[in-house]
Chain A
Amino acid sequence: MDKYLLPHKGEIVKITQETGSNLNIKTFRVRLIEEEARKKFKFLPGQFVELTVFGVGEAPFGFASSPTQEEYFDISIKETGLVTEAIHNMEEGDQIGVRGPFGNNFPYEEIKGKNLVFLAGGIGLAPLRSLINFVLDEKNRDQYGRVQMLLAFRSPEDMLYKYDFSNWENSPNTTVKYTIDEECEGWVHCVGYPHELLNEELDLKEPDTVFFTCGPPIMIRFITEELRNSGIDPANIITTLEMKMSCGLGKCGRCNIGRHYVCKDGPVFDLKQMEQMPAEF
């Protein structure tokens, strides 16, 4: 049997509707059914998984929960195509195929003792949440320095993980800022695109800081440009890329950027690496 090509069976144990009606994002909590598979399934922040809807197809998704939650994992999914639509139509108790985990991970070991800045746009917060919850976990919190977050959404309707916000805000030595694209009634936080707010809202000058960003490609581009202009070392700017990863093994040929296979060498890359890669993503 080829253990990498056929999925384990998972059960959807909880479905959370994250956003309002305008951007349909749900978070699915999945628990592997077989005990042995569950014990062996060890993922790290930044990795991804291939989910199968039986009879429909398979698609890649980043982990949105911290591996410190051992019994299950969360995947946040925006309805965009065939597979995501089929997943959105599923109910608690339904079964789903799980292949993985695949890919590299955020350098959670190397960043110990450093200050961290998280810059997220929309559902780009999902893979960062895995690392955020890992770093802010009581067991780990004292191993990391100051944590700053700037979380961008189109509108208050499009926010996800609202239920996490108070935990994050109340975590020691942690500040969380929120921004939306346009002013709206009742909104007391920032307004504007995140790259315009970086210098104003965050303390970028603190030494020994590592930046993590994920969001729409255009946001990643503007943010990384802004950070570079502020003199940040590109090796300290880390993002996670998305391609049409299918096999997860670095073989099927869909997700390469130059010689790098996003499913195996990525999805986590730092800006220094990305500057050496062909611009084809």
Chain B
Amino acid sequence: MDELIGEFITETNESLEELDVDLVNLEKDPNNRDLLSKIFRLMHTIKGTCGFLGLPRLEKLAHHAENVLGRFRDGDLEVTPPAVTLILESIDTVRFILEGIEQTGEEPTGDDSDIISRLDAVYEGRDVPAAAAADGKKGDNIKLIGDKIDHKDDEAAPSGFVSEEELEAVFAATEVLVNTNNTAAADDEDDDDDEIEVMAASAPASKAAGKGAANASEDGSAKKASIATQSLRVNVDVLENLMTMVSELVLTRNQLMQIMRQQNDSEFTAPLQRLNHVVSDLQDGVMKTRMQPIGNAWAKLPRIVRDISLELKKKVELHMHGQDTELDRQVLDMIKDPLTHMVRNSADHGIETPAEREAAGKPQTGKINLDAYHEGGHIIIEISDDGKGLSTKKIIDKAISNGLATADEIQDMSTQQIQQFIFHAGFSTAEKVTSVSGRGVGMDVVRTNIEKIGGSIELTSIEGKGSTFRIKIPLTLAIVSALVVEAGGERFAVPQLTVRELVMVSEKSDVKIEMIKGSPVYRLREQLLPLVYLNDVLKLKGYETQGAAKDAAEGDNVINLESKAASQNQYIIVTQIGAYMLGIIVDRVFDTEEIVVKPVARILREIEVFSGNTILGDGSVIMILDPAGIARATGKEEGSDVGAGVEQMEEQVHYDAREKTTLLLFRAGDRAPKAVPLALVSRLENVNIDSVEYANGQMLVQYRGQLMPLLPFSHAQQIPEQGNMPVLVFAEGKKSMGIIVDDIVDIIEEHVDVQMSGSDGVMGSAIIAGKATDVCDVTYYMNSVSNGWFDIQTSVGYDSDDVEGTSEHARRKILLVDDSPFFRNMLTPLLSVAGYRVTSVEGAAQALELCDKGEKFDLIVSDIEMPDMSGFEFAKKVKSEDSLWNNTPLVALTSHGAPSDLDKGHEVGFNKYILKFDRETLLDTLEETLSLSRR
């Protein structure tokens, strides 16, 4: 292709791209002369250049369009909405012809007589003929938007008018240039456009270039000339090459620095330091050349939204903020298409038709907001609309019909989890593929593209209110700072962006790595951090974990010895993956190094724990770890792609190692495991569904000659049609009730610390067997049984032969002192059910306060290990001569039954010692103690 034509195409395409933004403004403000002048001049330039280059078709079209625009600009003709469409149409035709030229080097053959005749008709002042007139409806639409904007524009108008004469002057000057020097003129023209855009920017929607509008119009052409000489057009390949070379230079620098570190003092030290600085600066500088404002990726969006809204007869406004936010060109290229897709989606699927919007009580015009800003080393892009949001029902239907999930699974999912399905391949909830959407780019591709560059995408959507997508992407991909670590004798790099902190654990450390059923965890400042051994994840040989001996030394003696020695000091790399933290245990940590991330070979790309590889300063190749991949590989991030798991993990852990409770693990309703202290459960039964009867809306079974009410653990639970179902039986006196569960999983001994409060039936969540587990609130179910089956407050309703004993109980007051809310919550109902009146306090101090107030109790049950004041001290105080309570029996509650403790307990005045959760013994002991004390 002729070099001149190539230049012409590049220039014209650029001008057209810029015009895209302005054209939408033209629609809002059809008689904006600045804009019209701009389009006029573009057409004029095209016409002139085409004549010079010998492109008759384009020249002819441009000529006729210029004629019409000339009259518009001079105000001879009123710009009507159909006329705007005609202008856009002619610009599109220009674009089409340009594309043809670009591909073949020649003008595509074709006939423009239709559009030319319509242009001529407008030029001659006739009505816009048929083709455009058919668009009358669209026109109304435009008018409405236009009207809305009009009054805002009034304030802005003065500056626009002031500059107009000057613009004309500049224009005239340019025209001369066009004739003399074609290419140079094109450049200048371009710069003029910029300036004009600045002035046009006073129109509300285009805030892009809102800098120094006043200056620009005053300084006039002199300034323009200087700008032209200040910027250069450089081929992208040149920059890319430069970047690659700088990357290599950085590596070589690193290599040299590494050598230097081993040699204490040499004459190279000083020059090397200087080299170091220069290279760093160079790196920064070159990086800057690659930075582009994100607005470049957005330029096409207003036009896209406009076209969609016309085609689908919707009213949509696109608001953009933060166009100036800069990011790496490479990153920009990667997100351009996903962004376009998402905005298109918002306009197409998100925003409703004006009628629907009105019915929903929203303004007719929908809004799409596009926001970009820096946050840490990342750029955040938010795309939000006030449309109809994601329809959970449609997603569910689609997910089931696509076989992505079963109805059962979906029942257990939160709305947020369900919404995540839209990121699955082949997922579109649009009932029909419109010409606008359904171009084969799904949200799965969007997510893949974003994740490919180390970014992440989050979605929040409220049905009826709208959706927001939040994209987080790194500023650059080229060079990252990484931590070099060793595990199993191999070195790996961990990108520093993902590293939150480093923790060293040695023999002498106060806090050690602890094991829960083979899974290591670490207490990091009141938080329980799940850990993985990198050796395990990577299946590196010759290594032994602390818990279970794995791959005992075979052959690899040397490494084994080494890693054993190294395991005295272990390092935990604390990484943050979304909202979730994971500690990666490595044998050694070396240093941080700047690395150039290179993609791994295609045949290895499926190994998810690596995000790339690199060459270190010493010339060796090492793999770059991807913490997110490691989390996925270890399954710790279960459900993180559905968001909920992460939130649970976020709440990590006030971890209380003192108490161990035997827990019954079961499942019911959703997938999350549930737990209930085994001591509270009387029996486990399998109840045949056929034996279930109903009375008073309550499920019942005949059980050991008594009626036993049954309750499902959760409402989401499905009661099987036939067969047996496992039931947890809770009994008190002769009364019992059953909770229906899906299945019994396990019985384990575990520390329990309820960290999140729950809702109905769930006391809260705790980490049990390494998983977030709901702890069942038995009281809730006992209260749920109708007719005051277990009447906890008054204990009425017991069998008549038991009334005496019960009423006796009811008079007895028990003070329960325990710091753990879990045990208070567990014991209070237990004792209440047994007929005692229970007062519970969370510490010895509060108990003594009650004592001072003169409260009296029949019995005091106290925990031993409590913060501030231990049970022993508390007992001493209670039993002291002057205490009001010195005759009140005291029962100690403890989780360990060490003989020494027993002795000490008796010494300080505890009448009895009971192990926690030994329910039968507890009740018996209380009864016994009380009857003893009565005598």
Whether chain B is bound by chain A comes out as: no
Interface set of B (CB-CB < 8 Å, partner A): none
Interface set of A (CB-CB < 8 Å, partner B): none
